[in-house]
Structure 1
Amino acid sequence: MATIREVAKTAGVSIATVSRVFNHPETVASETREHIDRIIAELGFSPNGTARSLALNKTSIVALIIPDILNPVFPEIAKGVEDVVHRRGYSLLLCNTESDAVKENEYLAAFLGRRVDGIIIAEGLLDRKGEEQVLGKGIALVHIGRKRNDTWASSVYTDFELGGFMATRHLIEQGFKRIGIIAGPEGQAEQLDKLRGYERALSEAGLPLDPDLVSPGDCEIEGGYLGAKKLLNAASPPRAIFACNDLMAIGAMDAIKTAGLRIPNDVALVGFDNIRMSALVDPKLTTISYPAHRIGTIAARLLFDMIETGTELSEREEIYIQPELKVRRSCGHSGRLQEMFN
Structure 2
Amino acid sequence: MANIREVAKMAGVSVATVSRVLNHPEAVSDKTRKKVLDTIEEMKYTPNGIARSLALNKTSTIALLIPNILNPIYSRLAMGIEEVAHQKGYNTFLCNTEEDKEKEREYIEILLEKRVDGFILISSLLDKGDIDNFRKENIPFVIIGSDLKDLDANIVYTDYLKGAYMATQHLIEIGYKRIAHISGPFKKRDSIQKIEGFKKAMIENNLSIFEGYVIEGNNEIEGGYLGAKRLIKMKYLPEALFVANDLMAIGAMDAIKDTGLSIPKNIAVVGFDDIRMASLVEPKLTTISQPVYKMGLIGARLLIENIEDSKEDDFKQKIFLQPKLKVRKSCGHSHRIREIFN
* TM-score bracket for the superposition, by shorter chain length: 0.7 to 0.9
For residues 205 and 89 of structure 1, do their structure 2 counterparts lie closer, same or farther at Cα, with a shift above 3 Å needed? same
Identical-pair percentage: 48
Deviations 1:255-293 (A, max 9, x none): 111121111112111000111100100011000112222
Q: Which residue of 2 aligns with 1:156?
A: 156
Counterpart residue number, 2:339: 340
CA distance in 2, matches of 1:108, 1:210: 42
The corresponding residue for 2:16 is none
The alignment's TM-score, normalised by the length of structure 2, stands at 0.82
For the Cα contact (< 8 Å) 2:158–2:320, is it kept in 1? yes
Closer, same or farther in 2 for the Cα pair 1:113/1:54, shift >3 Å? closer
Deviation at 1:208, TM superposition (A): 1.3
SS at structure 2 position matched to 1:301: helix
Residues in 2 aligned to 1:217 and 1:128: alpha-carbon distance in whole angstroms = 25
Native 8 Å contact 2:179 2:209 kept in 1: no
Q: How does 1:139-218 map to 2 (within 5 A)?
A: 139-218=139-218
* Other-structure match for 1:256: 256
CA distance in 2, matches of 1:257, 1:192: 28
State the partner residue of 2:238.
238
The answer to whether the 8 Å contact 2:269/2:285 transfers is yes
Letter in 2 for 1:173: E
Question: What's the counterpart of residue 79 of structure 1?
Answer: 79
Amino acid at match of 1:122: I
Give the aligned partner of residue 325 of structure 2: 325
For 2:205, the aligned partner's letter is A
Amino acid of the structure 1 residue aligned with 2:185: P
Deviation at 1:41, TM superposition (A): 8.6
**Normalising by structure 1, what TM-score?**
0.82
1:273 and 2:273 equivalent?
yes
Unaligned runs of 5+ in 2: 1-19, 34-48
Q: Distance in 1 between matches of 2:265 and 2:32?
A: 67
Q: How many residues in Structure 1 have an aligned counterpart in Structure 2?
A: 306
3-state DSSP class of the match of 2:168?
helix
Cα distance per residue 1:90-117 (max 9 Å; x no partner):
1100011111111111111112222111
Structure 2 residue 95 is matched with structure 1 residue 98: no
The one-letter code sitting in structure 2 at the alignment partner of 1:339 is: R
TM-fit CA distance, 1:85: 1.0
Which stretch shows the higher mean deviation, 261-270 or 142-151?
142-151
Counterpart residue identity of residue 317, structure 1? Q
Residue of structure 1 equivalent to 2:63? 63
* Deviation, structure 1 residue 134: 3.7
On the 8 A contact 1:185/1:219 being kept in 2, the answer is yes
Counterpart CA distance in 1 for 2:262 and 2:223 is: 20
**Superposition RMSD in Å:** 2.7
Q: Deviations over 1:25-53 (max 9, x none)?
A: xxxxxxxxxxxxxx999998xxxxx7x95
Unaligned runs of 5+ in 1: 11-38, 45-49
Distance 1:84 1:309 in 2: 16
Contact 1:182 1:217 in 2 (8 A): yes
Contact 2:181/2:244, CA 8 A, preserved across alignment:
yes
On the 8 A contact 1:67/1:97 being kept in 2, the answer is: yes
Tell me the CA shift for residue 212 of structure 1: 2.7
How far off its partner does 1:317 sit? 1.1
Return the alpha-carbon distance in structure 2 between the equivalents of residues 209 and 252 of structure 1: 19
Q: Deviations over 1:196-250 (max 9, x none)?
A: 1100000011111222322221111111111111111111111111111101100
